[in-house]
Amino acid sequence: MEESERSIKAFIIPYGAWYKNVISGNPRIYIGLYYEAGGNDGEFGIVWDGIGIRLMAYSDAWETLRKMPELMAKIDREKSKPAVPEFVELLKRIGFRDLTKRENPYTRQTI
Protein backbone atom coordinates (compact mmCIF):
# COMPACT_ATOMS: atom_id res chain seq x y z
CA MET A 1 0.00 0.00 0.00
CA GLU A 2 1.19 3.50 -0.69
CA GLU A 3 1.70 5.48 2.45
CA SER A 4 -0.79 8.09 1.23
CA GLU A 5 -3.52 5.48 0.79
CA ARG A 6 -5.80 5.28 3.82
CA SER A 7 -8.14 2.50 4.70
CA ILE A 8 -11.85 3.29 4.82
CA LYS A 9 -14.64 2.01 7.05
CA ALA A 10 -16.65 -0.29 4.85
CA PHE A 11 -18.57 -3.54 4.63
CA ILE A 12 -19.03 -6.49 2.29
CA ILE A 13 -22.19 -8.56 1.90
CA PRO A 14 -21.08 -11.97 0.54
CA TYR A 15 -24.58 -13.20 -0.34
CA GLY A 16 -25.07 -9.98 -2.34
CA ALA A 17 -21.89 -10.47 -4.35
CA TRP A 18 -21.48 -11.93 -7.83
CA TYR A 19 -20.24 -15.20 -6.24
CA LYS A 20 -23.32 -15.55 -4.00
CA ASN A 21 -24.25 -18.95 -5.46
CA VAL A 22 -21.25 -20.57 -3.75
CA ILE A 23 -21.88 -18.98 -0.33
CA SER A 24 -23.33 -21.29 2.29
CA GLY A 25 -24.35 -20.88 5.88
CA ASN A 26 -26.16 -18.09 7.63
CA PRO A 27 -26.35 -14.55 6.21
CA ARG A 28 -23.39 -12.41 7.22
CA ILE A 29 -21.74 -9.06 6.68
CA TYR A 30 -18.02 -8.39 6.96
CA ILE A 31 -17.09 -4.99 8.38
CA GLY A 32 -13.60 -3.57 8.45
CA LEU A 33 -10.98 -1.03 7.47
CA TYR A 34 -10.46 -1.72 3.76
CA TYR A 35 -8.23 -0.34 1.03
CA GLU A 36 -9.76 0.57 -2.34
CA ALA A 37 -7.04 -1.44 -4.12
CA GLY A 38 -7.69 -4.50 -1.94
CA GLY A 39 -6.62 -5.73 1.44
CA ASN A 40 -7.55 -4.41 4.85
CA ASP A 41 -6.28 -3.30 8.22
CA GLY A 42 -8.68 -5.69 9.94
CA GLU A 43 -12.21 -7.01 9.69
CA PHE A 44 -14.84 -8.82 11.69
CA GLY A 45 -18.14 -10.43 10.82
CA ILE A 46 -21.74 -10.12 11.89
CA VAL A 47 -23.75 -13.35 11.43
CA TRP A 48 -27.52 -13.76 11.52
CA ASP A 49 -28.45 -17.15 12.98
CA GLY A 50 -31.53 -18.71 14.57
CA ILE A 51 -30.86 -17.10 17.95
CA GLY A 52 -29.91 -13.55 16.99
CA ILE A 53 -26.95 -11.63 15.64
CA ARG A 54 -23.49 -12.92 16.48
CA LEU A 55 -20.18 -11.06 16.33
CA MET A 56 -17.29 -13.04 14.81
CA ALA A 57 -13.94 -11.51 15.61
CA TYR A 58 -10.50 -13.06 15.83
CA SER A 59 -8.05 -11.53 18.27
CA ASP A 60 -6.44 -9.34 15.60
CA ALA A 61 -9.84 -7.75 14.84
CA TRP A 62 -10.39 -6.29 18.31
CA GLU A 63 -8.35 -3.22 17.40
CA THR A 64 -10.51 -2.70 14.30
CA LEU A 65 -13.68 -2.98 16.35
CA ARG A 66 -12.29 -0.46 18.85
CA LYS A 67 -11.80 2.05 15.99
CA MET A 68 -15.55 1.98 15.25
CA PRO A 69 -17.24 3.43 18.34
CA GLU A 70 -19.96 5.00 16.17
CA LEU A 71 -21.09 1.51 15.16
CA MET A 72 -21.33 0.28 18.73
CA ALA A 73 -23.15 3.46 19.77
CA LYS A 74 -25.81 3.07 17.05
CA ILE A 75 -26.70 -0.57 17.55
CA ASP A 76 -30.23 -0.64 18.89
CA ARG A 77 -30.11 -2.62 22.09
CA GLU A 78 -33.89 -2.86 22.12
CA LYS A 79 -34.01 -4.65 18.77
CA SER A 80 -32.05 -7.84 19.15
CA LYS A 81 -32.26 -8.98 15.53
CA PRO A 82 -32.66 -6.30 12.84
CA ALA A 83 -32.90 -7.71 9.33
CA VAL A 84 -29.78 -7.59 7.16
CA PRO A 85 -31.13 -4.71 5.00
CA GLU A 86 -31.86 -2.66 8.14
CA PHE A 87 -28.34 -3.25 9.42
CA VAL A 88 -26.88 -2.29 6.01
CA GLU A 89 -28.84 0.97 6.08
CA LEU A 90 -27.53 1.68 9.57
CA LEU A 91 -23.96 1.18 8.32
CA LYS A 92 -24.55 3.54 5.39
CA ARG A 93 -26.11 6.20 7.64
CA ILE A 94 -23.04 6.30 9.86
CA GLY A 95 -20.68 6.59 6.89
CA PHE A 96 -19.60 3.05 6.04
CA ARG A 97 -19.17 2.24 2.33
CA ASP A 98 -20.57 -0.84 0.61
CA LEU A 99 -17.65 -2.59 -1.13
CA THR A 100 -19.64 -5.66 -2.20
CA LYS A 101 -18.49 -6.80 -5.65
CA ARG A 102 -21.71 -7.24 -7.59
CA GLU A 103 -20.13 -7.41 -11.04
CA ASN A 104 -18.41 -10.63 -12.10
CA PRO A 105 -14.91 -9.53 -13.17
CA TYR A 106 -14.68 -12.50 -15.54
CA THR A 107 -17.91 -11.90 -17.46
CA ARG A 108 -18.66 -8.27 -16.54
CA GLN A 109 -22.23 -9.26 -15.65
CA THR A 110 -23.86 -7.53 -12.72
CA ILE A 111 -26.27 -9.45 -10.52
Q: Rounded to an integer, what distance in angstroms lies between the CA atom of residue 51 and that of residue 37?
A: 36
Residue 77 pLDDT > 70, yes or no?
no
Q: For the chain, what is the domain count? A: 1
Residues pairing with 57 in the sheet: none
Contact 71, 93 (CB under 8 A): no
Question: Does 106 fall in a domain?
Answer: no
Q: Which residues contact 79 (CB under 8 A, 6 or more apart)?
A: none
Is the entire prediction scored with pTM above 0.95?
no
Indicate whether 78 pLDDT > 60: no
Would 42 be classed as within a structural domain?
yes
Residue by residue, DSSP assigns 24-93 as -SS-EEEEEEE-TTS-EEEEEEEEE-SSSEEEE--GGGHHHHHT-HHHHHHS-TT-S---HHHHHHHHHH
Residue range of the domain that includes 86: 8-98
The pLDDT of residue 3 is above 60: no
In a domain, 2, yes or no: no
Backbone angles phi, psi at 14, to 5 degrees: -55, -40
In the structure, what pLDDT confidence band is assigned to residue 74 with cuts at 50, 70 and 90?
A: confident
Backbone angles phi, psi at 40, to 5 degrees: -155, 165
Q: Examine residue 107 and state whether it is found in any structural domain, yes or no.
A: no
| Contact (CB, 8 A) for 1 and 35 | yes
pLDDT tens, 27-60?
A: 999 999 999 888 999 999 999 998 888 999 998 8
Under 8 Å between Cβ of 11 and 71: no
User: Is 94 inside any structural domain?
Assistant: yes
- Does 104 reside within a domain? no
Mean predicted confidence (pLDDT) in 11-15: 95
Q: Average model confidence (pLDDT) for the chain? A: 87
